[in-house]
C-alpha cells in the first residue's frame, strides 16, 4: 500500500512507505538482534544476537505462514517501522552480518534497536503533520522530523552513542501538543485515561470519543462497539483487546503492531494509516 501524508504547512509530501518493514531488503535483523522468552507470545527462548532457529539462509522465516499456529504470535505483531532495511542497506551499505567479522555483526545488532526507535518516532511525527488541527505546531514538527531522519542516517558509532530517551522526550513534547490540538473541541476530550490500568475492563459500547488513552493498559479489555473516534492511542497496550465493531475512525498515533495484537472483525472501523489484520477474519 502506497501512502503519503500531506504536510499542511507547505507543499511537501512525506512518504510513509519507508516506515513499514520491507523484509526483502533486510538481513533478518529482528530474527537475530532481538531476544525473546518462552511465553504466550513465543514458543522458545532466544538470546539477543542469536538467529532464530526458523531463520533460513535467505533471511526469510521458515514458518512465516504458520507463526501463530507454531506459538510465535509475538513475531506476527512486531513491526520494525522500516528500520530493518535502513540498517541493512543504508547504515551498513548492504553488507550482510553473515560471514562478516564478529565485530561487524555486533555493531549491526546494537544499532538496529536504536534505528527502530527513531523510525517509530518518524511514524508519529509524520502522522502529526497530517493532522490539520495541529497546524500551529507543524513547523516544529517538521523540524523534529528532519532532525530525527538525519539521526537515522548517522554512522554506526554515532547511532550506538545516541541518547534516544533524551531525543524521544523532546519529540514527545510536540506530540503532546499535537494531541491537545487534535482533540480540542471534541466532546470526549475530557476523558483522560492516560496511563490508566484498564486490563480486562468491561468497556463494551463505551464513549471514548476524543479520549486520551496514551500508554493505557487495555490488555484483554472488552471494547466491543466502543466509540474511539479521534482518540489518542499512542503507546496503549492493545494485546488481546476486543475491538469487534469498535469505531476507531480518526484515532491517531495508532500503529500496526497495536492493531495486530488486538482482536477485531469486519465491523471494526480503522483509520487509514493501518490495515485490517488477516487473522481477524481468518479465525486464527
Q: Give CA–CA dist 18/13, Å, rounded.
A: 13
Please state, in angstroms and rounded to a whole number, the distance separating the CA atoms of residues 3 and 18. Answer: 10
Strand ranges (E), the chain: 4-6, 13-15
Residues with Cβ within 8 Å of residue 161, at least 6 apart in sequence: none
Query: Which residues in the chain show pLDDT less than 50?
Result: 1-14, 284
Alpha-carbon 75 to chain mean position: 13
Cell of 215: 500508554
* pLDDT at res. 279: 86
Measure CA 263 to chain center: 17
User: How far lies 113's CA from each of 87, 100, 164, 240, in Å?
Assistant: 10, 20, 10, 25
Closest by CA position to 252, among listed 165, 125, 147, 119: 125
What pLDDT shows up at residue 274?
93
For position 187, what pLDDT does the model report? Answer: 65
Classify burial at 131, counting beta carbons within 10 Å of its beta carbon; exposed 0-12, middle 13-18, buried 19 or more: buried
Find the angle CA(202)-CA(207)-CA(213) to the nearest 5 degrees: 75
- The DSSP symbol for 252 reads B
State the pLDDT at residue 9.
Answer: 35
Amino acid at each position: 500500500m502506497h501512502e503519503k501524508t500531506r504536510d499542511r504547512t507547505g507543499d511537501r509530501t512525506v512518504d510513509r512507505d519507508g516506515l513499514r518493514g520491507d523484509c526483502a531488503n533486510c538481513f533478518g535483523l529482528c530474527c537475530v538482534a532481538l531476544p525473546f522468552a518462552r511465553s504466550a507470545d513465543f514458543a522458545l527462548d532466544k538470546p539477543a544476537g542469536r538467529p532464530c532457529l526458523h531463520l533460513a539462509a535467505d533471511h526469510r522465516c521458515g514458518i512465516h505462514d504458520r507463526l501463530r499456529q507454531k506459538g510465535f504470535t509475538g513475531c506476527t505483531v512486531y513491526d520494525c517501522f522500516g528500520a530493518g532495511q535502513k540498517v541493512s542497506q543504508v547504515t551498513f551499505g548492504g553488507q550482510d552480518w553473515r560471514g562478516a567479522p564478529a565485530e561487524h555483526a555486533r555493531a549491526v545488532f546494537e544499532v538496529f534497536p536504536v534505528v527502530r526507535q527513531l523510525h517509530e518516532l518518524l511514524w508519529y511525527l509524520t502522522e502529526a503533520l497530517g493532522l490539520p488541527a495541529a497546524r500551529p505546531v507543524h513547523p516544529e514538527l517538521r523540524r523534529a522530523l528532519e532532525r530525527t531522519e538525519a539521526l537515522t542516517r548517522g554512522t554506526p558509532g554515532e547511532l550506538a552513542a545516541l541518547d534516544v530517551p533524551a531525543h524521544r522526550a523532546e519529540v514527545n513534547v510536540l506530540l503532546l501538543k499535537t494531541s491537545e490540538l487534535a482533540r480540542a473541541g471534541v466532546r470526549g476530550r475530557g476523558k483522560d485515561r492516560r496511563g490508566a490500568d484498564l486490563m480486562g475492563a468491561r468497556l463494551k459500547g463505551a464513549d471514548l470519543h476524543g479520549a486520551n488513552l496514551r500508554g493505557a493498559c487495555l490488555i484483554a479489555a472488552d471494547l466491543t462497539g466502543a466509540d474511539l473516534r479521534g482518540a489518542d492511542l499512542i503507546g496503549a497496550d492493545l494485546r488481546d483487546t476486543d475491538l469487534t465493531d469498535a469505531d476507531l475512525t480518526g484515532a491517531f498515533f495508532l500503529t500496526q503492531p497495536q492493531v495486530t495484537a488486538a482482536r477485531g472483525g469486519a465491523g471494526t472501523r480503522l483509520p487509514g494509516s493501518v490495515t485490517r489484520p488477516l487473522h481477524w477474519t481468518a479465525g486464527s
